[in-house]
Chain A
């Protein structure tokens, strides 16, 4: 029950409504986790727009939090388990809303410990919206 593979198995169970978070010890371990995720059928999404498209279509997705957690990604995280996700596009001022089909969705965020600790306090509040958390 201790490994990241077990955690992935948990997140990948159909109907998991929560987004999982993996906090890696360092960048090297984060890379290893990514490889494990890819082997387990997860695709990486690079921004909120891509994650939104992924949620709309179904599948297994993960996103790596780099130096910052973009506001639109934070908003999606806050909404994910509420049954509806809205994404606002600031450039053309349009909004789209989708209904996640949890039976066909698994979403996970990855972050290195140092990066996480460096996030501004407002962004670290993601822990309030996140579901299960794995630490190595």
Chain B
């Protein structure tokens, strides 16, 4: 191994301490260990240095760790780092690679059982064009990608959660390590025809692991025969008490001689919008007293863990890290302090300590200690300013909520939604374009309000998800009349059979679809067929109530009692009362919200037909919630190749092909 300090340009000890990391155009020195930067850093696998601006280069762990990693990179020896769960091991390696321009190839071995994912396998040839092209080609795995040498590039393979690896994976990885050590080739037993020439100057391997021990799931101590292949670095998970106290104070801007703490995270506060600064934090009334109590809490929580008084039944060995948990609590306080320091601390400790415990009794134990972290606020002088900042934070939140219409989000959402409801049941922007010939701008597409569970249930209920818009790209309303025009040349035959009787009706000329996503049954609800409008409403209610799709108000308004009242009124003198009854029924929230309008029935029909060539309502009619000018209720259907029929009827009508399509 080279003397790793000999190349450093640092000339004396004080200078070295002042500038632990020194960078030139071509190299970086970590506590005196100098590494050359990669000549070619153009790759998606090279981390972005901007991400690590708030990295804390503390002298207790972060700097020595970087030095040790640098030594490993320089010597080419594989490095195995063992340390507590939240010491930032992976982040530290990535941060150095970002600075050095090295590629990272990451493999997490927890739960991995397939050697071929790491070493490569045969896959169907994605570039097969001709019969003579091979059916299958060999494709690299995560590790082999990192072993391949490329001009000017340096690559680091991270093997995360190394001691969770299955034995067959460990054996294969050790073959790779042996080949690297000897400067030989790795023979791909997965592809007998090939071997990869490896070079430890170009490829570095870093394995990371949490400590093994009682209670660890699937983690075993590495056996000595395996350990000899690695340079083994065990990080401390506990700081000495005095150091812990000092660093905790420093993180909150308290204590003396902070400039010697090497906690250079002031950038953190610059990067966090609306966070309190260190100067503001140390002015928080009661901060010093609360911090002392917090230190006691942290120590007590760890005592309980070590003695297996809490988290004994959890699969992983839990530790509350002396640095990271404190740092997280500090960040929480800096963002969420609103005048109640006790409450703010207590909430942070619930998020980061208590709620990570699986057992309710364990949580209760910590909760009891948390209650002691209290400070009586006798001064309110600082509150106002901080409350004003909190208001600003709220406004930022609101602004971000608006950003949820960020157009590019929708692609992600829509892909997932389409997958859940099923492609054949999804009618979104592309289907609108296919049906009507115009495209939507991203900002016109609302977020889908349904959860994946609801979408899966909808698929089982034979429902389709439809995006409805109200205008075309010229801003013209999508009335039935306009849809009928747009359909000419797009639908073979007629969309509407005979429009003569209703061509001047408002529902034909003016009404447009309600904007948004809707889950619509593909056909009439079975139980609604051959029933009058009131009984249909009952069937619709029962169908939607079963799946919790009705609000309390909607349910109350269409109770049996209320529907019977309308029926009684209607039948008392049908000729006289049917129009009033039709009006009352159309006004019921369940019918307004969960039946379609005639234009929606037509809109849904053409969207589905153009995309799937399936006809909705081919032999049935959907009774809508809309009345004609003479007061009858419109139904649409029998949509065969001659076109859809539209009629109106009184609420007492019924027919075995007349039902209701549900909307929710």
A residues near B (Cβ < 8 Å) are 1-2, 6-7, 9-10, 12-15, 18, 23, 31, 34-35, 38, 40-47, 50, 53-54, 57-61, 64, 71, 74-75, 78-79, 81-84, 86, 88, 90-100, 103-104, 106, 116-117, 121-125, 127-128, 130-135
Contact = CB atoms under 8 A, between A and B. Distances in A.
Contacts of B419: 46
Contacts of A13: 272-274, 335, 393, 396-397
A104 to B, nearest CB: 7
Given A13-B274, A60-B400, 4 more contacts: A34-B453, A83-B52, A103-B273, A132-B332
B447 A122 contact: no
B335 A45 contact: no
Interface stretch (B120-128, B467-475, B536-544, B595-603): B120-128
B271 interface: yes
Contact of A57 (B90, B314, B409): B409
Contacts of B51: 83-84, 99-100
Contacts of B449: 38
A46 B415 CA distance: 9
Contact of B47 (A74, A84, A96, A128): A84
Contacts of B94: 82-84
Interface size for chain B: under 10, 10 to 19, 20 to 34, or 35 or more residues? 35 or more
B355 to A, nearest CB: 4
Contacts of B314: 124, 127
A124 B316 contact: yes
A127 to B, nearest CB: 5
Interface stretch (B65-73, B140-148, B498-506): B140-148
B69 to A, nearest CB: 14
Contacts of B488: none
Interface string B572-589: 000000000000000000
Contacts of B120: 93
B397 A134 contact: no
Given A60-B400, A122-B164, A135-B355, A84 B273 contact: no
A44 B44 contact: no
B400 to A, nearest CB: 6
Contacts of B110: 74, 78, 122, 125
A23 B351 CA distance: 11
Contact of B356 (A81, A117, A127): A127
Interface string B111-154: 11010010011010010000000000001111001000000000
Given A12-B400, A41-B401, A60-B400, A50 B47 contact: no
A40 B401 contact: yes
B104 interface: yes
Contacts of B48: 83-84, 99
A8 B48 CA distance: 28
B218 A121 contact: yes
B629 interface: no
A61 B400 CA distance: 13
A59 B126 contact: no
Given A23-B355, A125-B110, A132-B351, A57 B316 contact: no
A10 B332 contact: yes
B246 to A, nearest CB: 25
